[in-house]
Amino acid sequence: MAGGKIHFEVFVKKHRKAGWTLADARDDREEAIALAKKLLDGLPKGSVRVSKERFDEDARVFRSATIFEEGAEKFALDEDKTGDGSLPCLTPDDLSNPSARDTIHRVLDGWLERQQVTPMELLHRPDLVEMLETGGTEMQHAVQKVAVASAKEGDSSVHAYVKQLNELVGKALTRVYQDGRAGKLPKFPASKSFRAVVEDIYSKPSAYRLRAAIADRLGEARSYRDKVQLLLDFSDDLPTDPATAEAAISEVDAFLAEMLGFDSGLSGLVGQTADLGEEIQRLADIFTGKPDADSLVTAPKAAWRLANRLPKGDLEWTKSAIAQRILAQLRKPRRMKPDDVAAEVKLARALAQQLIMAQGPDLPAQSLQDAFSQRSSRLLTPETIGDYLVESADAGVEIDRLLALEENIVGAQNKRKLAGYIRAALGAHKTETYFLRGPGGPAERLAGLVARQKRVEAGHFPPEDEAELMAAFDAMGVRILEETRLLERVADGDRPALDRAAALLKLATTGILPKGDCTTFAQTKALRLLRSDTGLKEAQADTDRAKLSEIETLLKTLAPKDEAAA
C-alpha cells in the first residue's frame, strides 16, 4: 500500500438500537483513544470505536482499520461471571515473555507467516504495528480469540477480558509508536557489527533496545531463511565481556527459536527434502549436533551451522524448539517414506535409537515414546502392511517380515495389532500349504516354526498375544506331525525302546518341535515306551545306566522350571 496521511476517527453508538455516528477526528492516536474512553463514560449502554484512516494515494481512497472498540455493542456481559478479568500480562514488557509471545504466534500465525516475521519483531518494530493495524481485522480477531479462551477458564466475561487486552495492546503499541517517533529505538545498519551494536546498547543495559535493534536488522531480510542466517551470524559475533555476551546470545536465541516455530521458518532451516523422513533425519542430526551427517550434505548452510553450534549449550530455546518440531513431525499422519515401507521401517528404528540417546529435558523419554507410538501406528494400516508384504517370495518370508516389524514399532496397542496380522497370516491357506507341503523335510519345516516361536518370545508382545502366537505356531506344528506321522514313525520303529524314547525326547528338546502340544505329544509317546514291558526290561538290563541317565537328563530339560528346581 502506498504511503499517505493518517488520521483517527472516533465513532459513538448510544445504545444497541442506535446507529454509529462520527463524534470527532484526531491526528494523534492516543488522543483519539482517550476521547473515545471519555465519551463512553457518559454512555452506560453505549459503545465507542476508533478507526485508523489512511489515505492510499495510488487508489485515491481511504483505508480503514478499527484499532479500538469498547462497550456493549459487540460483547454481552456474562451474568454468572463477575470477576475483574485479570490477565497474566499486565505491562507491555510482559508481552515479550515466552508464553505471551507463544499466544501471539498462535492467534496471528497466518499474518506473521505471510510477513515472514516473528512476535518479537512485531513487538519492537513500528512499521509492523502499523501494517497490522491497517491491514484488516487480524488484530481484533486475535484479541477476541484470546478473550474468549480466557473467559472459558477465568472468572470474568469476554467483555472484561477484551477491555483489558485492548488496554494492554494499546499501551504496547503506543510505546512502540512513541519510541519510534522519538528516535529511541536503535538502528542496526548492515555496515555495523552485532558486537558493536550490543556494546553500544549495553553501556546502559536494555533488553528492550537490543531486541529493537535486532528486529530492525532482521527487517532487511526478506525471508525466515535469510533471518536464520543473520541470527547465526550474530551468534558468532559476540562481545568479549562474558555477561554482555550471555545477554546478547539469550536475545538471539529467543528470536531464532520463534522463527523455527513457523512452518516456513523450519523449511528455511532444513531446506527442500525428498520426504518427511529426510526432514526429520535432518532435524535429528541438527539436534544431536552432527554437522557432518550425510543428511546435511545437501541441506542449507544454516542447518550444519546450527548443528555445529548447538553442542555449545548457549542456544537453549532454539534447541528446545527443534525438539518440539521433531516430535510434531513424528506425529504427522504422513508416511516418512511413502514409496518404500521397508526403508521407512529402517529409518524409524535408526531415528528411535538416535533420539533415545539424546533424550533429556528438551526431548523427554515419554514424549518420544508417544511420538514413535503414533508413528508406528502409521505402519500398521492394511494398505501399508500390504505394500510391505507384496514382494515376499513366499508365506514364510511374509511371516518373517511381520515378526521383524515387531522390533521397529512402539506401543502395546501397536504390537497387539501386529500380532493380529501375524495370526491372520498363519491362518491363511497359502501359509498352511507352505508349512505342510513346502520346501524341505518335515523336521526342517518344524524347526522353522521353532525359530519363529523364539522370535516371538524374544520380542515384546503383550503377554496374551505372545501366548496366542506361540500356540498358533505350535498348532501348525501339530498339523505337520499329523500329516507326516513323524512321531509315530519314530515311536513304532525297530530300534530298542529306550533308543526310541530318547529319540522322541531329543526331538522335543533340541529345537526340532515347537513348544506346546508338539513337545507334549513327543514326551507322552516317550513315557509310554519307557513304561512298556519292553522298555522296563531294557531298563533293567541297562547295567551301566548310560541310556537311562541320558533319558533322565532329557526329561529334566522338558520339566517345568519350578519342578526342575525342586
Instruction: Specify the higher pLDDT residue, 71 or 560.
Output: 71
Cα angle 46, 51, 56; round to 5: 160
40, 80 Cβ separation under 8 angstroms: no
Give me the sheet containing 61-71, strands edge to edge. 21-26, 6-13, 47-56, 61-71
How far is 186 from 183, CA to CA, in rounded Å?
7
Torsion of the alpha carbons at 522, 526, 532 and 535, rounded to the nearest 10? 150
State the DSSP H helix or E strand holding residue 307, giving kind and residue range, or none if neither.
helix 301-309
Identify whether the C-beta of residue 70 lies closer than 8 Å to the C-beta of residue 36.
Answer: yes
Mean pLDDT of 48-75: 73
pLDDT score at 2:
41
The Cα–Cα gap between 334 and 331 comes to: 9
Joined together, the cell numbers standing for residue 336 give 516418512
DSSP at 438: S
Mean pLDDT of 251-261: 95
Helix (H, G, I), strand (E, B) or coil at 398: helix
Instruction: Quote the pLDDT of residue 464.
Output: 96
As given in the structure block, the three cell numbers for residue 544 are: 551301566
Whether the pLDDT of residue 169 is over 70: the answer is yes
Q: Which residue has the cell 494400516?
A: 381
| Beta strands 21-26 and 61-71, pairing class | unpaired
The rounded percent of the chain whose pLDDT value lies above 90 is 55
Residues pairing with 66 in the sheet: 51
Angle between helices 242-260 and 98-107 (to 10 degrees): 20
3-state secondary structure of 297: coil
The amino acid at 137: T
Task: Decide: helix, strand or coil at residue 192.
Answer: coil
Residues with Cβ within 8 Å of residue 514, at least 6 apart in sequence:
446, 449, 450, 453, 470, 473, 474, 476, 477
The amino acid present at 171, given as its one-letter code, is K
Task: Show me where the domains of the chain are located.
Answer: 6-71, 77-182, 186-374, 379-484, 493-565
Please state, in angstroms and rounded to a whole number, the distance separating the CA atoms of residues 399 and 414.
17
pLDDT, residue 53, reads 80
Q: Are 357 and 406 in contact (CB under 8 A)?
A: no
SS3 11: strand
Look at residue 566 in the predicted model and tell me its pLDDT.
41
Indicate the range of 21-35, 47-61, 446-460, 491-505 predicted with least confidence: 47-61
Taking only the tens place, the pLDDT of each residue in 528-538 is 999 999 989 88
Q: Mean pLDDT, to the nearest integer, of 185-206?
A: 91
- Residue 144 is predicted with a pLDDT of 74
Exposed, middle or buried, 294 (CB in 10 Å: 0-12/13-18/19+)? exposed
How much is the pLDDT for 79?
44
**CB-CB contact of 271 with 298 (8 Å):** yes
Range with the poorest average pLDDT among 1-15, 281-295, 308-322, 378-392? 1-15
